[in-house]
Amino acid sequence: MTDLEFVPVRPVGSEETLLDWQHIHNLIIPTDPLSADEIAVRAQRNILEVAYADGVAVGCSTVRPPTSDPATVIARVLPGKRRQGFGQQLYHRGLAKARELGAQVIHTVVLASNDDGLRFARHHGFVEIERYVLPGDTVAFVDLRLA
């Protein structure tokens, strides 16, 4: 995929997009799987989108709008579809949406075991600010801030 090629990105709003978003999230974040009901609730307060290539879901994103906290922009791409520009497209879309919503500070969060995700975040100017483990888990989440 070149910089001039873009894949369709659809907001989570139908059962199909919700289930595609869920599949990608739960594959990449197996330590914190989400139910369809939990995703439906998140879709009411966050911007959730799914990227498609040749009609197949290849990535998903989350933008948590800024409130009293920084905005959070997360781009996830299926392992077999990485390094093809999908993450770049999702990240830039999410960053633009966060900025449109008035975000001054941007965070992202990556599972510590996701080396590709951490490398992507650091490559795009994020620096680690915190690691934490959810109750009952053993793998940390890494919070990063756009420098």
Output the CA–CA distances (angstroms, integers) from residue 7 to 22, 54, 56, 111, 127, in the order listed.
19, 8, 10, 25, 28
Residue 33 covered by a domain: yes
pLDDT digits (tens, 9 = 90+) for 78-108: 999 999 999 999 999 999 999 999 999 999 9
Range of the domain at 70: 9-146
Residue 142 covered by a domain: yes
Cα dihedral 41, 33, 143, 56 in deg (nearest 10): -80
What CATH number should be reported for the domain holding residue 43? Answer: 3.40.630.30
* Neighbouring-strand partners of residue 9: 51
pTM: 0.92
Number of domains in the chain: 1
- The least confident of 5-9, 19-23, 70-74, 122-126 is 5-9
Average per-residue pLDDT for the chain: 93
